[in-house]
Structure 1
């Protein structure tokens, strides 16, 4: 018992020290949506250090202090440049102007909107699969269900796992790929020739990969959720998904199989609602931290 307690204590101690925060794609889409909707200017900085997670005394933006408020600009904030200057001394900082390409995503500003494209990333995946000149298709999944009487294992499962894993990052800008990529990843342990044919069809479908963020006058959040009870005939597990919108902008989406078998359709729906409620609660908390709380309660449909 003492050994288990000591191991747990050391694990907790290391957990509080070894942290590497990674931004969620939903956070990036939320900030870009706010910038487009409110007409903010977006600047991109390249800091040559990946772990700037220490305690910092300066802040980048601050509210107007008492006694120094501008009565004509009560909603404005002051920008503190001391932090950027200090970082420029301690770390190499390069201002890259308006963002054009970051995290494998290309941003194309338009009038009142912005395009998010992963064309370069998509072309790299097609090149790895030797399908650069493939003919595109209009749907990611065949309308007819293919059932093989004899299951033939795919000869190169490592290639299948590599490409299926790479397709997951395309779902950052393509919600229409969430369901089919989820299906492909369910067969990564032992892919068959049929699974490989399904993956190649998805690769033919993703040739035009981009997402458009348009201006929205509303900052209220609302979500849609749905579930498919026992949809998988092999393990009888259910699939649920949801989509969360900020005003009219889609910023978060998920489609995944539930981990346990549900005994009724009601249980499936409750699990799905629990997932979307957790996502909406986190998004509302993030909006409060940014200083732009929703004007009305969130709606779940």
Structure 2
């Protein structure tokens, strides 16, 4: 496995460059794919508890079959970001209301190579983030409206699951859930 010394790494304030572009695996210089896969698997585990890195890790996981040096560099950037954010976290506030609010979005034109789109949602219970997901869809949408509709459908399915869970815990919601697109 490639070595990466965290104690000498310079911290960064974002897990990914603002341009959000990662080249396809067309470069002649590829890195050890097993080391890259191992690092991405560890970062995916962190993505479960950190929505700030989940998108960047998702993007990198799309290149696990043939990672290049630029993909390895982007993965190391996430590690440098984690070093910067080590003392930060999500805090659940005890006095928060029990209103469920959700936001969904889609990126229809984000992938010019595959034509597939990315959908994402985030759910808040009061002011606390309780669920999030960002994923590349398996199918191709014919319009941005269709992509947004699918994002809303994914978020609505998760909202129903959370509502049922709260009902089973004998803590049903008092108000209807608001879903923003």
TM-score, length basis structure 1: 0.55
User: SS of the residue aligned with 1:213?
Assistant: coil
Matched, 1:201 2:54: no
User: SS of the residue aligned with 2:31?
Assistant: coil
1:158 is aligned to 34
Matched, 1:268 2:144: no
Distance (whole Å) between structure 2 residues aligned to residue 225 and residue 139 of structure 1: 22
User: SS of the residue aligned with 1:240?
Assistant: strand
Preserved CA contact (<8 Å) 2:119 2:137: yes
Distance (whole Å) between structure 1 residues aligned to residue 34 and residue 56 of structure 2: 19
Structure 1 residue 222, shift from structure 2 partner? 1.2
RMSD: 2.1
Preserved CA contact (<8 Å) 1:171 1:178: yes
Cα gap change, 1:274 to 1:139, in 2 (>3 Å)? same
Structure 1 residue 212, shift from structure 2 partner? 1.6
Distance (whole Å) between structure 2 residues aligned to residue 254 and residue 155 of structure 1: 28
Distance (whole Å) between structure 2 residues aligned to residue 203 and residue 270 of structure 1: 34
Preserved CA contact (<8 Å) 2:33 2:66: yes
Preserved CA contact (<8 Å) 2:25 2:67: no
Distance (whole Å) between structure 1 residues aligned to residue 15 and residue 24 of structure 2: 20
Structure 1 residue 290, shift from structure 2 partner? 0.5
User: SS of the residue aligned with 2:91?
Assistant: strand
Residue correspondence of structure 1 range 167-186 to structure 2 within 5 A: 167-186=43-62
Distance (whole Å) between structure 2 residues aligned to residue 233 and residue 296 of structure 1: 41
1:294 is aligned to 173
User: SS of the residue aligned with 2:124?
Assistant: strand
Preserved CA contact (<8 Å) 1:221 1:298: yes
Greater RCO, 1 or 2 (C-alpha within 8 Å, sep 6+): 2
Structure 1 residue 158, shift from structure 2 partner? 0.1
Structure 1 residue 183, shift from structure 2 partner? 0.1
Distance (whole Å) between structure 2 residues aligned to residue 147 and residue 221 of structure 1: 38
Preserved CA contact (<8 Å) 1:244 1:252: yes
Residue correspondence of structure 1 range 1-301 to structure 2 within 5 A: 129-133=3-7, 134-144=9-19, 145=21, 151-207=27-83, 208-209=85-86, 210-301=89-180
Distance (whole Å) between structure 2 residues aligned to residue 149 and residue 242 of structure 1: 28
After superposition, what is the alpha-carbon deviation per residue over 1:150-169, rounded to whole angstroms, capped at 9, x for unaligned?
Answer: 61342310000010011011
Preserved CA contact (<8 Å) 1:242 1:254: yes
Distance (whole Å) between structure 1 residues aligned to residue 145 and residue 136 of structure 2: 16
Preserved CA contact (<8 Å) 1:230 1:261: no
Unaligned runs of 5+ in 1: 1-126
After superposition, what is the alpha-carbon deviation per residue over 1:27-55, rounded to whole angstroms, capped at 9, x for unaligned?
Answer: xxxxxxxxxxxxxxxxxxxxxxxxxxxxx
Cα gap change, 1:199 to 1:285, in 2 (>3 Å)? same
TM-score, length basis structure 2: 0.89
After superposition, what is the alpha-carbon deviation per residue over 1:230-263, rounded to whole angstroms, capped at 9, x for unaligned?
Answer: 3112112111101001111111011111111100
User: SS of the residue aligned with 1:136?
Assistant: coil
Unaligned runs of 5+ in 2: none
